[in-house]
Amino acid sequence: MFEGCEPVEPLPPPGFAPEAVAACAEEILDRLGRAERPVMMVGVEIRRYGLEERVAELAKRLHVPVVTSFMGRGLLASGDTPLLGTYIGMAGQPEITQLVENSDCLLLFGVIPSDTNFGVSEKRIAGSVPITARDRAVSMGFHRYSNIPLEAMVEELLRRVAGQAPRAEGARTEYPHGLEADEARVTPPDIARAVNDLFARHGSMPMAADVGDCLFTCFDIENTELVAPGYYATMGFGVPAGLGLQAATGRRPLVLVGDGAFQMTGWELGNCRRYGWDPIVVVFNNQSWEMLRVFQPASRFNSLDDWRFADLAGPLGGEGVRVSTRRELALALDRAANTRGRFQLIEVMLEKGAVSTTLARFVEGLKRRH
């Protein structure tokens, strides 16, 4: 404590009217009961307000399909919540896109209406039709309930459905597994498949991702705790975020980062030796700003030089390896998982133009929109 500074007492939470919460919950359940195609989408606010476990229980008791928003990716990663996947509009899996956009009662819990979450939607779903519960307010159609804390709303809904049995675990998204460890060149979908195989063998890991195709690749990886700069699209976030993950949780993270972002903040790995951190860092090196290239393929400024990041891992206190084939990638990930005490950097050499399936759909969706 600094000399002269008094302790700061937290302000008490603002009051609310229980009668308003009860009326709002009654209307939500009435709309859900009359719906033929209800869907629940959960967003980042349920994590911010510490409601993840309670919302997971509510999702099971309401007996409705559950998805996360783009910014909510990584929520409900543990437990038996029947999570189907992540909604990304035209960039996502078609079955999830159709499920959400054709719903006649879409319940948005803690979902921030923004271009990041709904920018590639084929239909306008963030307007007056969904039930939106966030930021101490609930709106549904032309009805709006002010000063309704999300926590109070969740607890009231749970109280009202307390007699309903939780639904058994439902069908989840089938993520790709079974990388063929051959001499073919690695692509971003191969990285997702290899990481899923790694999680199957060694257990899941929390992930940190930078912006660009490394973030879009996460949507083909098993749902696990994820921190990423989806809202602000802040390049250079991935490596420092991964270090913060290990410092805050004590768990070893997997970091996905592009070569452009690694040029900015990859050198933060030099702090690992000092603090005893040992993340696994996968660098997507296509020697370009690939996400910009897919929008402006003729722009020469997208090309980057080859900095040979794996060669720099040793002086920074870690171990590095450069891979270009699927066999080399599989071996490198297994070796990294079995090596503790020093950070492991896997520099994956990708061909220009090789992108994840999600980024390809994202670009195509935006082109159709414009």
DSSP string, 14-64: PP--HHHHHHHHHHHHHHHHH-SSEEEEE-THHHHTT-HHHHHHHHHHHT-
% residues pLDDT > 90 (the chain): 68
Angle at 302 between CA 297 and CA 308, to 5 degrees: 130
Q: Which of 220-234, 304-318, 356-370 has the lowest mean pLDDT?
A: 356-370
Distances (CA, A) of 212 to 107, 164, 282, 286: 29, 43, 14, 12
pLDDT of residue 119 exceeding 70, the answer is yes
Query: How does residue 353 score in pLDDT terms, banded at 50, 70 and 90?
Result: confident
pLDDT at residue 172, as a whole number:
64
Whole-number pLDDT of residue 171: 54
206-232 mean pLDDT: 92
Q: Mean of the pLDDT values across residues 240-254?
A: 97
pLDDT tens string 32-74: 999 999 999 999 999 999 999 999 999 889 989 999 999 999 9
Question: What are 239's two structure tokens?
Answer: 């490596």
| Domains observed in the chain | 18-160 (3.40.50.1220), 188-369 (3.40.50.970)
The residue with greater pLDDT, 79 or 103, is 103
* Arithmetic mean of pLDDT, 182-211: 97
What's the CA gap between 242 and 208, in Å, rounded?
5
User: 126: pLDDT confidence band, cut at 50, 70 and 90?
Assistant: low
Q: Tell which residue, 267, 222, 225, has the closest CA to residue 245.
A: 225
Question: Using CA atoms, how far apart are residues 124 and 134, in angstroms rounded to an integer?
Answer: 19
Distance CA 190, CA 207 (A): 17
Which pLDDT score is estimated for 1?
A: 45
- Please report the beta strands in 177-334, taking only residues with DSSP state E, as ranges in sequence order: 207-209, 226-227, 254-258, 280-285, 319-323
Place of tokens 């390809």: 360
Local confidence band at 292 (pLDDT 50, 70, 90 cut-offs): low
User: Is pLDDT above 90 for 300?
Assistant: no
CA-based angle 342:345:346, to the nearest 5?
Answer: 140
pLDDT given at position 6: 85
pTM as predicted: 0.87
Give the Å distances, CA to CA, from 71 to 41, 67, 345.
Answer: 11, 12, 27
pLDDT at 294: 67
Residue 128 has pLDDT above 60, yes or no: no
- Structure tokens given for 317: 């206190």
Query: Is the pLDDT score of 239 beyond 80?
Result: yes
Mean pLDDT of 176-193: 97
The better pLDDT of the pair 203, 307 is held by 203
Quick one: pLDDT at residue 362?
A: 81
